[in-house]
Chains A and B, each alone.
Chain A
Amino acid sequence: MINSILRYTIIFIVLILLQVLLFNNIQFSGYVNPYVYVMLILLLPVEISSWVLLFVSFFTGLTVDFFSGTLGMHAGATVAAGFVRPYILRFISPRDGYEAGAKPSMMIYGFRWFMLYTILIVVIHHFILFYLEVFRFADFFRTFLRVILSSLFSVTFILLAEYFRKGR
Chain B
Amino acid sequence: MRNLLNFLARYINLILFILFEGIALYLVINSNSYHNSHVINGIRGITRVAEEKITNIKNYLRLHEINVNLAKENIALRNSIEQMIKKEDQLFFSVSDTIHRQQYIYTAGEVVNNSINKQKNFFTLDKGRKQGVNTDMAVVSPDGIAGMIIGSSDNFSIGMSLINIDFRVSCRMKSNKYFGSLAWDGRDYRYAILNEIPQHVPVHVGDTVETTNFSAIFPEGIMVGIVNDFEKSGGDFYKIKVALATDFKKLNFVNIIGNLKKTEQQDLEKTYQ
Question: Could you list which residues of chain A lie within 8 angstroms of chain B, going by C-beta atoms?
Answer: 24-27, 29-30, 33, 50-51, 54-55, 57-58, 61, 65-73, 75-76, 79-80, 83, 86, 132-135, 139, 142
A25 vs B55: C-alpha distance when bound (angstroms) = 13
Contact at A29–B28, with CB atoms within 8 Å? Answer: no
Q: With contacts A71-B39, A83-B13, A83-B17 known, is A29 near B27, CB below 8 A?
A: no
A59 vs B165: C-alpha distance when bound (angstroms) = 28
Distance in angstroms from B171 CB to nearest chain A CB is: 21
Q: Which of B150-182 contact A (CB under 8 A)?
A: 165
Question: Could you list which residues of chain B lie within 8 angstroms of chain A, going by C-beta atoms?
Answer: 12-13, 16-17, 20-21, 23-32, 39-40, 43-44, 46-47, 115-120, 122, 165, 185-189
Contact at A76–B117, with CB atoms within 8 Å? Answer: no
Distance in angstroms from B256 CB to nearest chain A CB is: 20
A79 vs B122: C-alpha distance when bound (angstroms) = 25
A108 vs B256: C-alpha distance when bound (angstroms) = 58
A69 vs B37: C-alpha distance when bound (angstroms) = 10
Which residues of chain A are near B16, meaning CB under 8 Å? 51, 54-55
Taking a contact as CB atoms closer than 8 A, the residue among A67, A80, A83, A134 that contacts B119 in the complex is A134
Residue of A nearest to B187 (CB): A30
Q: With contacts A29-B188, A30-B189 known, is A75 near B119, CB below 8 A?
A: no
Residue of A nearest to B113 (CB): A69
A24 vs B118: C-alpha distance when bound (angstroms) = 9
Shortest Cβ-Cβ A-B pairs, 3 listed: A72-B27, A76-B24, A72-B28
Which residues of chain A are near B12, meaning CB under 8 Å? 50-51
A75 vs B187: C-alpha distance when bound (angstroms) = 25
A71 vs B39: C-alpha distance when bound (angstroms) = 8
Which residues of chain B are near A134, meaning CB under 8 Å? 119, 165, 186
Which residues of chain A are near B31, meaning CB under 8 Å? 70-72
Distance in angstroms from A20 CB to nearest chain B CB is: 8
A55 vs B44: C-alpha distance when bound (angstroms) = 24
Per DSSP, are chain A's interface residues mostly helix, strand or loop, or mixed?
helix
Taking a contact as CB atoms closer than 8 A, the residue among B26, B30, B119 that contacts A133 in the complex is B119
Contact at B13–A67, with CB atoms within 8 Å? Answer: no
A57 vs B25: C-alpha distance when bound (angstroms) = 15
Contact at B117–A69, with CB atoms within 8 Å? Answer: no
Q: With contacts A51-B12, A67-B47 known, is A30 near B186, CB below 8 A?
A: yes
Distance in angstroms from B80 CB to nearest chain A CB is: 35
Distance in angstroms from B47 CB to nearest chain A CB is: 6
Q: Enumerate 13 A-B pairs (CB-CB under 8 Å) in ascending A order.
A: A33-B118, A50-B13, A54-B16, A66-B47, A67-B47, A68-B115, A70-B31, A70-B118, A70-B120, A72-B23, A72-B26, A134-B165, A139-B185
Residue of B nearest to A80 (CB): B21
Taking a contact as CB atoms closer than 8 A, the residue among B20, B24, B39, B117 that contacts A73 in the complex is B24
Residue of B nearest to A79 (CB): B20
Residue of A nearest to B188 (CB): A30
Q: A71-B39, A76-B25, A83-B17 are in contact. List 5 more A-B contacts (CB 8 A).
A: A30-B117, A54-B17, A66-B46, A80-B17, A86-B13
Residue of A nearest to B166 (CB): A135
Distance in angstroms from A148 CB to nearest chain B CB is: 16
Distance in angstroms from A122 CB to nearest chain B CB is: 18
A27 vs B115: C-alpha distance when bound (angstroms) = 10
Which residues of chain A are near B186, meaning CB under 8 Å? 30, 134, 139, 142
Which residues of chain B are near A33, meaning CB under 8 Å? 117-118
Residue of A nearest to B158 (CB): A69
Contact at B118–A75, with CB atoms within 8 Å? Answer: no
Contact at B47–A27, with CB atoms within 8 Å? Answer: no
Contact at A75–B27, with CB atoms within 8 Å? Answer: yes
